[in-house]
Amino acid sequence: MEENKEKRNRLAVILPWALVAILTVLNGFFIYNYFKTDQKLAVTEEELFDTKDAKNSLDSLLKITTNELQSYKGQNASLDSLVSQKDNDLKVYADRIKRLLAQDRVSKADLDKAMEEIEQLRYYKRKYLTQIDSLSTQIVILNRENDNLKGSINAQKRNNENLSVENAGLKNKVAIGAKLNTSAIMVTGIKLRGNGKEKETMKAKQVEQIKLTFKVAENYVAEKGSKDIYLKLTTQDGTTLYNQATGTATFKFQGEESLYTQKKTIEFTQEAQDVTVYWAKGSEFAAGKYKAELFSEGFKIGSVEFELK
């Protein structure tokens, strides 16, 4: 009897713990199974979207851009170089979008990202074509001025019976011939990164500096030596921007004093050379249209318009 009683006591102790262990195992199994099922449902419920429309949109944009870029080729070596550079930049951007659309069906997040990138590509396309068109316009103007100058010189030669008139004309031609000529004028807004590198932007709130780049053409009539080039930035209402901290700065143009924004002194060698001018306003730039004009030795040698968004 005592032996049976002792067995019952042991069972009374063991059974509750055994039940606890079994319930713990079952509970863990159900929890694991619940989360695994939930994950499967989440994967199943993720809707995939067709990338056909996005791919067509990208292909159409690239074809239009290629045709527009090709229309500028063959006018000038500098213009061809700029077209090639911007074409490569756009292709790199397009390849990134193509990788996002590599599959026929993608998640909504990936599709939205690809569409955002396509809109960004459209922005850069407009920006680059504006720069290219500006350079193309300057080339046309420069060629027209050269043709006019050649025509004037030929006409002057035909009037050589009147020596005094001819001499007066030649002096004027020499002065005009000695004028510096510029091309490929481009304006870019600059924001400096923490590492000191430049980031291009045309958003007024982000612009810290205005960067103007241009090419001074070769000219063997003009004398070698130091040449002062004056940059005049004006707003849409004609106000000239200048550094108020350093006071008013002026130069002479057509016999009158005129405000300028920044002065750049170059060492002119009669060979073609690239020039870059920076100007930091010191305060936030306002959104709107601006005009950049270049002057040297009493002549206006170039201008370009640009817009900060």
Task: Kindly state the tokens that stand for 223.
Answer: 């004398």
Most confident of 87-91, 94-98, 128-132, 266-270: 266-270
CB atoms within 10 A of CB 96: 13
Identify the band that residue 185 occupies on the pLDDT scale cut at 50, 70 and 90: very high
193 occurs within a structural domain: yes
pLDDT at 176: 62
The DSSP secondary-structure symbol of 202 reads: -
SS3 for 221?
Answer: coil
Does residue 216 share a domain with residue 133? no
Number of continuous H segments (helices) and E segments (strands) in the chain? 5, 13
Instruction: Choose one of 118, 137, 156: the last residue of a domain.
Output: 137
159 occurs within a structural domain: no
Higher pLDDT, 132 or 173: 132
Distance CA 62, CA 91 (A): 8
Distance CA 224, CA 212 (A): 23
Higher pLDDT, 8 or 227: 227
Domain count for the chain, please give it: 2
Does residue 184 share a domain with residue 304? yes
In tens, the pLDDT along 27-81 reads 665 565 655 555 554 444 557 878 888 788 778 878 887 777 777 777 667 667 7
Report the amino acid identity of residue 110.
D
CB-count burial class (<10 Å; 0-12, 13-18, 19+) for 207: buried
SS3 for 205?
Answer: coil
pLDDT at 42: 45
User: Nearest-CA neighbor of 217 among 305, 141, 148?
Assistant: 141
In tens, the pLDDT along 209-268 reads 999 999 999 988 888 999 999 999 999 998 998 876 655 588 988 888 889 999 999 999
pTM: 0.46
In the predicted model, is pLDDT for residue 287 greater than 80?
A: yes
What CATH number is associated with residue 282? 2.60.40.10
